[in-house]
Amino acid sequence: MNSIEENLKNNNWTPLHTRIISHRIGDGTVNYYGHYVWDNKNPHEFIDLTKKLEIKIWGPTLCKKWGTSKIIIHKNLFLKFGEIIETDGNRLLRNPAYFIETIRKMPRAHKLQTLFALLVDDGSCINWMLTLFEDQHKEVVNSVYQLWNDLCPSTAKISELVTPKGTRVYHIQINREGIIFFKNEVDKAVNEFGELAGIWWKQEPLNRRYEKATNRRALLINDTKNKKELKDKILIDYLTNRRSATFTEIKNILSISTDRARRILRRLAKEKKLFLIDAGNKARYSMVEENISQEYREQIILHWIEENQSVGNKEIRKLFKIGSELAGVILNRMCKKKLLKKVNNYQKARYILFS
């Protein structure tokens, strides 16, 4: 057990205590006197949790303008937390990004309660991708994003939205795998600590989102996605170990139809994961972009002759890593264009600039 865990245990600071102070990030502020204020339309669970933990509060006070209830908790709660984990309690209260970075050092159950608080205050379970958190401050959003990745990596992304008033807002979106993970963790926390450890009035929207994420159609879509990623990997691994592959080779490797092979290759080429080496009916695909046009090769050959006076079939083969027959075709085309002149007709014929 590390020092933080020992200090938490010795001071009876539970994940639910961390939950209370974590609501500072979403709908929490600091008032004129430096105390923690939570402002929300649904205060009941928050109040019940403070009673369970025997934390003294002031309020709730109804805000007539917004219809919210303000609850005030003395700053000493943050100061106590700072002492337990040996850091600056005032900074934890006033600096949300620092608070999240500190939570990242805490045990797993405490991290999860912070994420639950963020979803309750500033998240949504309505859309296809669950919105874990949204905020105008990119530093805070990045810290929350890293906290999520500590527990469930590669299941979230940050999106950016500009409101009609020009305000830039950052959202953390959670995908299907993340939704399943989140729902399971909420259920575990409720079983261990009770209903107040869950996501309160947002539990039902999460349940509906989870049902859609695990229904038959969602499973089919996910299976299709996994198969697509597998075929991409097979193809890229194959090309990584070879210089190139023809369309027919690729189709046979993946065991798919012609149309489907074309769709996969077009998508990967668009994503710059592979390149089409266009050579007419001998076109092929490679991991390395390469220009094999006659014009490009002619420029390379002419430059070679300027430095070496002449060129032969052997040098052409080495320059372009091609066979003797294709090298001869390239040289004969250049002779027909009167770019080169053949010096002799022997097996080791040389070519010089046409004059």
Please state, in angstroms and rounded to a whole number, the distance separating the CA atoms of residues 304 and 217.
60
325 residue type, one letter: E
Residue 322 tokens, joined: 């091609």
DSSP code per residue over 158-178: EEEEE-TT--EEEEEEE-HHH
**In the CATH scheme, what architecture does the domain 218-286 have?**
Orthogonal Bundle (1.10)
CATH 3.30.70.600 fits domain 3-211: no
**Identical topology for domains 218-286 and 294-353:** yes
Q: How far apart are CA 139 and CA 133, in angstroms?
A: 13
What pLDDT shows up at residue 195? 95
CATH fold, domain 294-353, is Arc Repressor Mutant, subunit A (1.10.10)
Q: Which pLDDT score is estimated for 153?
A: 94
Q: How far is CA 297 from CA 22, 294, 333, in A?
A: 65, 5, 11
Query: Any idea what DSSP says for residue 71?
Result: E
* Residue among 290, 289, 227, 292 at smallest CA distance from 264: 227
Distance CA 166, CA 270 (A): 33
Residue from 189, 196, 284 nearest 246 by CA: 284
Cα 299 to Cα 208: distance, rounded to the nearest angstrom: 64
Contact 203, 226 (CB under 8 A): no
Q: Of 310, 320, 295, 302, whose CA–CA distance to 348 is shortest?
A: 310
Cα-Cα-Cα-Cα torsion 74, 77, 78, 79, nearest 10 degrees, comes to 100
Q: Is residue 243 helix, strand or coil? A: coil
Give one DSSP letter per residue of 10-64, joined into a string.
HTT--HHHHHHHHHHHHSEEE-TTS-EEEEES--HHHHHHHHHTT---EEEEEET
Dist CA 106 CA 84 (whole Å): 11
User: Kind of pairing, strands 156-162 and 245-246?
Assistant: unpaired
Residue type, 210: Y
Q: What pLDDT is recorded for position 76?
A: 96
How confident is the prediction along the chain (355 residues), in pLDDT tens digits per residue? Answer: 578 899 999 999 999 999 999 999 999 999 999 999 999 999 999 999 999 999 999 989 998 888 899 999 999 999 999 999 999 999 999 999 999 999 999 999 999 999 999 999 999 998 878 999 999 999 999 999 999 999 999 999 999 988 888 899 999 999 989 999 999 999 999 999 999 999 999 999 999 999 888 876 555 555 555 566 777 777 777 777 776 777 788 778 777 778 877 887 788 777 777 777 755 556 677 766 555 666 767 888 888 888 888 888 888 888 777 778 878 888 888 888 888 888 876 667 888 887 7
What angle do helix axes 176-193 and 15-26 make, rounded to 10 degrees?
Answer: 130
- According to DSSP, the β-strands at 168-174 and 156-162 are antiparallel
Tokens of 314: 């052997």
Bond before 60 cis per omega within 30 degrees: yes
| Domain residue spans of the chain | 3-211, 218-286, 294-353
pTM metric for this prediction: 0.65
